[in-house]
Chain A
Amino acid sequence: MISKFIASLKSFLIEVGEISYFAGRFFKEFLFPPYEFKEFLRQCYYIGNRSLFLVGVTGFIIGLVFTLQSRPTLQEFGAVSWMASMVSVSIIREIGPIITALICAGRIGSGIGAELGSMKVTEQIDAMEVSGTNPFKYLVITRILATTLMLPLLVIFGDVLAIYGSYLVENVKDNVSFQLYFNQVFNILEFSDIVPATIKTFFFGFAIGLIGCYKGYYCKKGTAGVGKAANAAVVYTSMLLFVIDFIAVFVTNIFYKM
């Protein structure tokens, strides 16, 4: 039992070490030419465009549901007028970034893991190397940069639709006007809500790209390995997102107390 635990711990630590090395290689290689701009822009388009609808619909529904669920409790305390403030702070600070990141971990992270895994087992990555291309630069750096830059944009898009969804509920239930609702939203929001929440989304995006690429790039042989790579990319990324979120909140609190 203990030896099994030690073996699991050892393999976990080895994996953490390998992922850290992979991240180190990213920082080492992305600074130096050649730069794969065309592939980077293509990845930005794919990652942003492919997730836009899903993130938008999810954000909108979360806004609707969150408002509907919170309404009875706020009504009990006679605090329905605080709805816009409560929803906007919750969405911007926490729910928007983490939900969008989790959706993207499932949509983008698994996609990257499966794509690179399949390229690995069919020797396309080797073929790329033989063709005079550094596959790490062409496949990994472009994807990690694209997820890092696209995730904040997706989060902003999701946040806006979530708040709009919340406004629709308020408008239907209490006939609250668009101007009044959004005035309340912008009155309550401060830089200390928006800036740290936006900064952490860059880290979320980086984590999604990094784990997806790592799992795909080092995919074991065989088609089963591709499935495992895609699955592991989602599981590892989801866990890592919560760890990053905790650290981000912790650091933000320290920073604002100072």
Chain B
Amino acid sequence: METKKEPIIIINDLHKTFGTNTVLNGFNMILNEGENLVVMGKSGSGKSVMIKCVIGLETPDSGSIFVMNKEINRLEREVIDELRTEIGFLFQGSALYDSMSVRENLEFPLRRHTKKFGKIEDTTPLVMEALESVGLANAINLMPNELSGGMKRRIALARTLILKPKIILYDEPTTGLDPITSKEIILLMKSIQEKYNTSSIIITHDVDCAKAIANRMILLIDGINYIEGTFDELNASNDPKVQAFFK
């Protein structure tokens, strides 16, 4: 018998407006432990804003977000920083620091989040472990401008993994990559989930990515969670708004 998994992220009635543009209009969501939740929606529908609210990069106008039982908008900066060691974030454009080598990019969060690991004298074993898990151990001394798009995405993933987070938020992980590299990234995401037992929110437009990785899906339309279900359930829906994503 399958044990019921605990919710690790709970979003209640989230609202966010930029000027006159309302992007989130009462969005609700629950992410359970060990689950891969895919959120799909049109460009500008507020998907990225929603996960940025989860990690505290954006402040919602109203509503609440609980991450590991802590309401993120009521926390002091230091507590949020500590909580962020448990949340990895893969940015859409990888967001590697241009002026730092791959090693320095990976060491940066490690040297900052000293509360989780203490002060580490030799970071090499942790850096190598993270790079090996994305298959790029030989890129340790390269600069970001020497990497391809797919390699950048993998290194960004390694930087996310180095803190051994419980939750990973993926912001369009396969956007801008060729189909073969996209498949490699999807396989990598699956292997990471199996190896580290992470819970993930994956923001994507990529139906193949959603099909491969989703335990559950949410369609974000008009600022709300329009429909929820498994990939097959949503794919079988007769609703034209839902079908527009799967055609």
Contacts and interface: CB of A to CB of B under 8 A. Distances in A.
A134 B57 CA distance: 12
Contacts of B97: 119, 124, 127-128
Given A131-B108, A133-B112, A123 B93 contact: yes
Contacts of A94: none
8 contacts: A119-B98, A123-B92, A124-B96, A126-B57, A130-B55, A131-B112, A132-B81, A133-B112
A137 to B, nearest CB: 11
A39 to B, nearest CB: 11
Interface in B166-218: none
Contacts of B98: 118-119, 122, 124
A120 to B, nearest CB: 11
A119 B97 CA distance: 8
Given A132-B81, A132-B84, A126 B112 contact: no
Nearest to A122: B93
B229 interface: no
Given A131-B113, A132-B113, A126 B81 contact: no
A126 B109 CA distance: 13
Contact of B57 (A122, A129, A133): A129
Interface string A121-154: 0111011111111100000000000000000000
Nearest to B171: A123
Interface of A: 118-119, 122-124, 126-134
A49 B95 CA distance: 28
B85 interface: yes
Contacts of A132: 81, 84-85, 109, 112-113
Nearest to A130: B89
A123 B109 contact: no
Main secondary structure of the interface of B (DSSP, over half): loop
Contacts of A118: 98
B108 A126 contact: no
B109 A131 contact: yes
Nearest to A118: B98
Interface in B71-94: 77, 81, 84-85, 87, 89, 91-93
A123 B159 CA distance: 15
Contacts of B84: 130-132
B112 A127 contact: no
Nearest to B81: A132
A126 B54 CA distance: 13
A63 B77 CA distance: 52
Contact of A123 (B55, B95, B108): B95
Contact of A127 (B77, B85, B87, B91): B91
6 interchain residue pairs of minimum CB distance: A131-B109, A127-B95, A132-B112, A123-B95, A132-B81, A132-B113
A38 to B, nearest CB: 10
B57 A124 contact: no
B62 to A, nearest CB: 22
Given A124-B95, A124-B96, 20 more contacts: A119-B97, A119-B98, A122-B93, A126-B57, A126-B91, A126-B95, A127-B95, A127-B97, A128-B108, A130-B57, A130-B84, A130-B87, A131-B108, A131-B109, A132-B81, A132-B84, A132-B113, A133-B108, A133-B112, A134-B77
A131 B96 CA distance: 12
Contacts of A123: 91-93, 95
A128 B85 CA distance: 13
A256 B108 CA distance: 51
Contacts of A124: 95-98
Contacts of A127: 89, 91, 95-97
Contacts of A130: 55, 57, 84, 87, 89, 109
Contacts of B77: 134
A127 B81 CA distance: 12
A124 B95 CA distance: 5
Contacts of B89: 127, 130
Contacts of B93: 122-123
Nearest to A34: B112
Nearest to B112: A132
A223 to B, nearest CB: 12
Contacts of A129: 57
Contacts of A131: 84, 108-109, 112-113
